C-alpha cells in the first residue's frame, strides 16, 4: 500500500512544484546574454556580440609559452572580440558542431557567474547588471582536450 501511495503522490508533488515555479527574469536575461555572446560568434553578428559585452571586457586564457614552457596570459578586449566576430571566425564552425550550452553557476545581486560550453572551448563568464541589463565583464576560457589534441597544443602547462 505504501508503494502505491508513493507512486501516486510523487508525480503529483512534482507537478505541483513545477506549476508553482516562476521564471526568474534575471536568470532569463543572464542566459540570453550568454546566448547572445555564443550565438553571435557562430553567426558572425558583431552588433549582437557588442550588445552582450561591457566595453571594458577582459577575455583571458592561459597558454603555454613555447620559449619558456611556462604559461602566459593572452588577453582579448571587447573591441578585438567584436572585430574577430565581424570577420566571421566563428562562422567556420560547421552548424552541426556548434554548441552554446549555458549553465548559470551563481547569481548574487548584480553579479553572475556562467559556464558556456562552445564547440572547442569552455568560457567561464562573469556578468554584471548595469543600467537594467546584464553584460559580460570578464571571461576566462579554456580549450577542450579534444581541440588541444587537434591543434597540437600541450594538454598541460
For position 42, what pLDDT does the model report? 97
CA distance 61 to 80: 14
Mean pLDDT of 22-38: 93
Q: What is the pLDDT of residues 87-104, one digit of tens each?
A: 999 999 999 999 999 999
How many angstroms from the chain centroid is the CA of residue 142? 11
- Let me know: does 74 contact 80? Beta carbons within 8 Å: no
Domains of the chain, with CATH numbers? 24-147 (3.10.450.50)
| pLDDT for the residue numbered 5 | 52
The CA-based angle 137-139-143, given to 5 degrees, is 165
pLDDT in tens, 116-150: 999 999 999 999 999 999 999 999 999 999 998 88
- Whether the pLDDT of residue 51 is over 50: the answer is yes
Amino acid at each position: 500500500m505504501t508503494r502505491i501511495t508513493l507512486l501516486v503522490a510523487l508525480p503529483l508533488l512534482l507537478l505541483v512544484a513545477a506549476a508553482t515555479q516562476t521564471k526568474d527574469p534575471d536568470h532569463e536575461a543572464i542566459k540570453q546574454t550568454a546566448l547572445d555572446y555564443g550565438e553571435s560568434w557562430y553567426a558572425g553578428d558583431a552588433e549582437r556580440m557588442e550588445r552582450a559585452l561591457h566595453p571594458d571586457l577582459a577575455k583571458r586564457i592561459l597558454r603555454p609559452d613555447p620559449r619558456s614552457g611556462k604559461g602566459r596570459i593572452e588577453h582579448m578586449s571587447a573591441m578585438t572580440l567584436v572585430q574577430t566576430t565581424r570577420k566571421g571566425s566563428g562562422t567556420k564552425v560547421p552548424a552541426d558542431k556548434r554548441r552554446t550550452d549555458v549553465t548559470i553557476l551563481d547569481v548574487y545581486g548584480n553579479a553572475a557567474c556562467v559556464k558556456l560550453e562552445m564547440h572547442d572551448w569552455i568560457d567561464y563568464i562573469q556578468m554584471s547588471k548595469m543600467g537594467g541589463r546584464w553584460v559580460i565583464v570578464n571571461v576566462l576560457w579554456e580549450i577542450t582536450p579534444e581541440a588541444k589534441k587537434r591543434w597540437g597544443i600541450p594538454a598541460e602547462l
